[in-house]
Amino acid sequence: MAHSMILPLLFACSLLCAGAASDFYKDFDITWGDGRGKILNNGQLLTLSLDRASGCGFQSKNEYHFGKIDMQLKLVAGNSAGTVTAYYLSSQGPTHDEIDFEFLGNLSGDPYTLHTNVFTQGKGNREMQFRLWFDPTANFHTYSVLWNPQQILFMVDGAPIRVFRNMETKGVAYPKSQPMRIYSSLWNADDWATRGGLVKTDWANAPFTASYRGFSADACVWAAGKSSCSGSRTSGGSGGAGGAWMNYEMDVASQEKMKWVQSNYMIYNYCSDRSRFPQGLPAECSVASA
């Protein structure tokens, strides 16, 4: 199967798809890093930088309870070994829920590792890792989470790469009761990030910088203990009963795209790691690829 023919078809949703103007001043707060995080271009661009002294991070002003979240990222270029750019949704507390994208840096010329995870009620250990089919440092690409009561879908440039379905009937907790904020950070993790910590951060290349634009949240905003989707339309959210994403289920074509990505670009799947689970694979693995 020729990649040169397949890629344009599968990933036709290109850099223009999420080009809608966003205002980082309105939607986010830079929360740490002593000025290493910057909002530029009248709120249209956000950059995070890492040097030997510190990384930095930001979080959304709003909490969300279901939605479709899009963000364009351009990752640290060159020798990014030892660095991690984390972009995720999370609630707070010891029984928190979390939906993770983490980008593990590497030596110049080697591909990034895209690390994904899902936490429910404080329990994670659901890692799937991918190589990307493009250079994520050369241009902006769109990384999306679609989170509704039925499933969590991870997408890259509109292509689904992973799904975590609601399997409460099988005793698997599902993130549905805790609102989550969006977080992102750029930090040094050279004790584990690149080849298990064998390759350290080369500070001669600092500062390392990741860039963000094109944020979009077609989502239910949580405020004063309730969701904007539970009643009439409110400012800041999609309102009503949610958007088309609220009842979205992958069709056959989307499932085929996901299988193609996983068969060609997935490098680790916890549901295939029987040595890690000698007592048996987690319950959700029995239907993870169904």
Q: Which residues are catalytic?
A: 98, 102
* H or E, element range at 27: helix 24-27
- Is-contact 116 140, C-beta < 8 A? no
Closest Cα partner for 175 from 61, 90, 68, 238?
90
DSSP 142-171: EEEEEE-SSEEEEEETTEEEEEEE--GGGT
Signed CA dihedral, 166, 13, 193, 93: sign only: negative
Cα dihedral: 131, 105, 164, 144 (round 10): -90
Residue appearing with tokens 């295939």? 272
Angstrom distances, CA of residue 246 to CA of 220, 225, 228, 275: 10, 20, 13, 37
The 8-class DSSP code of residue 136 comes to T
Contact of 220 with 240, CB cutoff 8 Å = no
Structure tokens at 93: 């507390």
Q: Would you call the peptide bond into 207 cis, given omega within 30 degrees of 0 as the criterion?
A: yes
Q: Tell me, what amino acid is at 276?
A: R
